[in-house]
Chain A
Amino acid sequence: MSARDTILAKVRRSLAVSGDEAARRAAVAERLSDAKAGVIPARGQLPQDERIALFSKYAEKYGATIARVASIEDLPQEVSRYLKSSNLPASVRMGDDVLLKSAGFEREPMLTVLSGASDGTDLAGVSHARGAVAESGTLVLASGPDNPVTINFLPEHHIVAVRAEDIGASLEEAFAGIAATYGKGEMPRTVNFVTGPSRSGDIEQKIIMGAHGPRALHIVIVG
């Protein structure tokens, strides 16, 4: 018997089941297809303006900085401003994201835009978060050619654009959005839920920012 079959047989023996019980199979099939939501905290269930305020409050609590711009065309200027104020060279790395491409970075002639995955030499990267979670100040980033995962972790500074209308109340809303894009039960290779910049408390439980991931997270709310 394979290890797989032995383990399944052991589980069944311990649970005193055969695995063929129709009721058990139905319970599992229903659970997976319904995928019901449980308790969703009330604190995120707010009208859009207050929801954005709550998102910003938590993101800042966890060490992110926040800017808000009226439209995506304002993003390049905000990126330049952020780089300058952080004493960084005018260069960023980003993927092929449609929203980011529509921002018109060529209107910032001093700013170099490198595309594709990061090789670890970039000081700043720009991503587009497909959503955000107000209840905890969390960004939701999906991997792919439009937003390579390495940009979320390797650059020292991570600048993330998120559209105001994509800031949802809860984790459940974020998952519903992913299912709407990729199909029920399907996921992109990587989904990163990001709440503030990287940190470690491993030496004497003192929290220090910038462990292995970005030292700074700058969120630009668009709209």
Chain B
Amino acid sequence: MQITTPNFKENATRALNDAPLQKALKNVEIGFIAKRLAAVDALPEFEQLRDNARDIKNHTLAHLDLYLEEYEKKVIASGGHVHFAETAEDARAIILDICRKRNAKTVTKGKSMITEEIGLNDFFEKNGITPVETDLGEYIIQLRGETPSHIIAPAVHLNKDQVEADFRRVHTHLPADRDLTEHEALLNEARLVLRQRYFEADVGITGANFLVAETGSSVIVTNEGNGDLTQTLGKCHVVVASLEKLVPTLNDCSQILRVLARSATGQDMSVYTTFSTGPKRAEDPDGPEEYHVVLLDNGRTAMLGTEFQEMLRCIRCGACMNHCPVYHAVGGHAYGAVYPGPMGAVLTPSLSGIEVGGHLPNASTFCGRCESVCPMRIPLPKMMRHWREREFEKHLTPTAARYGLKFWAFFARRPKLYRAAVSVAMPLLSWLGGSSRRIHSLPLADGWTKHREMPAPEGKTFLQAWAEKQAREAGR
């Protein structure tokens, strides 16, 4: 995809002024937060499971070379093929080659962020193969020529009437006077249109939530069943997954499954959790004739052994963005990268380089909600800070921010001067706030006040107020 990350500020401004988007984004808060909390509260072992999930991934990453070898052995033993891809380009070439060997014209796809990362759909189209997204959200954005704005709810930036308009525009073989006002009608129409496509497909492509070294299985977790139809009805099943999806055993997988669905959608388990191992067996009446796994590096091996290694524990549950005030305000597209929200802010600079993604770690209020809900206990704010430091070191930070920080550092190192300066500034800001105690516009900080108000201070500095409080209490 076209990465527009360096334009985060402009993207965000546009998003804040986009009324339909702002309406749709309300659904993130309504749709996810309370459900997650209810599911978590109902499972007393949840925190312990988070610890285990973290430890399992840490152990796997520390022995990743050996687990890759074991996993590969098991896939081959079950009749499947494993392909290693160093870069997105390599992965695309491997997948195209598999499709060409089968003379594939149509490829169905289950929802997969990794195929977004490698830009597979555009590549297929350039090479005369039609990719058909089968997840409802992915199908909708494919019709619109858009990218996902959320890692588990790709069309969360849209409203129902926009989907209706797209279906009317594309499904012209259906009666024009049909009623599409209800959600059910839209879902039924997509179900009907896509049903036939599964049977026509030569190849079915899915991602993987986990790869299990003990058995050589790939695991997908879905609610719709489209991924299962994709991998069962296609004559050839291709799994595209990044290296860090490995877990040692089925029992390890169980630990992480228990935190995945709860953190993502607040379900105890997603509707379909499916383990696929090799191609169909001789006696099987259905299933794919061929089974391939494409293992993608694309920057991950370079994260190992660095302060960003912990990011490789991510299971793509989406909880960090569901709880992020910045995401709530601007949505996923403003980040201008494949992976939005806090996890994207850490991952994008790692995968695409600090020059491209270095802005994103600034798209954070450092409120810490992402880390508090991350089932894998990934210290997202700490890692965003690491990136900010690196960006600052590389002098990529905008000049205003650099001067601001230097200005503050000058005073911070001189406490007397600092106190004198703020005791002048506080009454001034208080006066600016007026009777509403809100500041609507602040010179030099209009970027802040354009879309939010700044609370005006009381007129005293903290130190003055503290000293007065101490005096009051001493007088009692």
Contacts and interface: CB of A to CB of B under 8 A. Distances in A.
B155 A39 contact: no
12 contacts: A3-B90, A11-B301, A31-B249, A143-B287, A144-B284, A171-B257, A185-B74, A195-B273, A199-B223, A199-B271, A204-B183, A211-B187
A35 B214 CA distance: 8
B267 A195 contact: yes
Contacts of B69: 8
Interface stretch (B27-35, B113-121, B362-370): B27-35
Nearest to B94: A3
Nearest to A217: B271
B52 interface: yes
Interface string B215-243: 10100000111101100110000000001
Contacts of B186: 203
Interface in A136-153: 136-138, 143-145, 148-150, 152-153
Contacts of A2: 84
B272 interface: yes
A210 B194 CA distance: 13
A73 B334 CA distance: 60
A172 interface: yes
Contact of B301 (A7, A95, A136, A188): A7
A223 interface: no
Where chain A touches its partner, the secondary structure class is loop
B229 A153 contact: yes
Contacts of B158: 203-204
Interface stretch (B135-143, B203-211, B396-404, B452-460): B135-143
Interface in A164-194: 170-172, 175, 185-194
B65 A8 contact: yes
B302 A153 contact: no
B45 A42 contact: yes
Contacts, number: 269
Nearest to A4: B84
Contacts of B371: none
B182 to A, nearest CB: 9
B251 A175 contact: yes
A128 B341 CA distance: 42
Interface in B138-189: 140, 153-156, 158-160, 163, 183-184, 186-188
B409 interface: no
A39 to B, nearest CB: 5
A12 B66 CA distance: 10
B65 A12 contact: yes
B232 A32 contact: no
Given A31-B248, A175-B251, A24 B283 contact: no
A85 interface: no
A143 B90 CA distance: 33
B223 A211 contact: yes
A158 to B, nearest CB: 10
Given A8-B69, A201-B153, A38 B52 contact: yes
A202 interface: yes
Given A36-B251, A200-B223, A204-B183, A213 B215 contact: no
B297 A28 contact: no
B187 A203 contact: yes
Using C-beta atoms within 8 Å of the partner chain, give the interface range for chain A: 35 or more
Interface of A: 2-4, 6-8, 10-12, 14-17, 19, 24-25, 27-28, 31-32, 35-39, 41-43, 58, 62, 95, 116-118, 120, 133, 135-138, 143-145, 148-150, 152-154, 170-172, 175, 185-206, 208, 210-214
A189 B281 contact: yes
B48 A39 contact: yes
By CB atoms of chain A within 10 A, which of B28, B48, B70, B258 has the most? B258
B134 interface: yes
A119 B184 CA distance: 24
A156 B257 CA distance: 27
Contacts of B67: 28
A144 B281 contact: yes
A63 to B, nearest CB: 9
A213 B232 CA distance: 12
Given A195-B267, A198-B225, A213-B228, 8 more contacts: A7-B297, A12-B65, A95-B285, A153-B229, A175-B251, A188-B277, A194-B271, A201-B223
B86 interface: yes
Contact of B248 (A32, A133, A149): A32
A198 B251 contact: no
Contact of A35 (B199, B249, B305): B249
Nearest to A197: B271
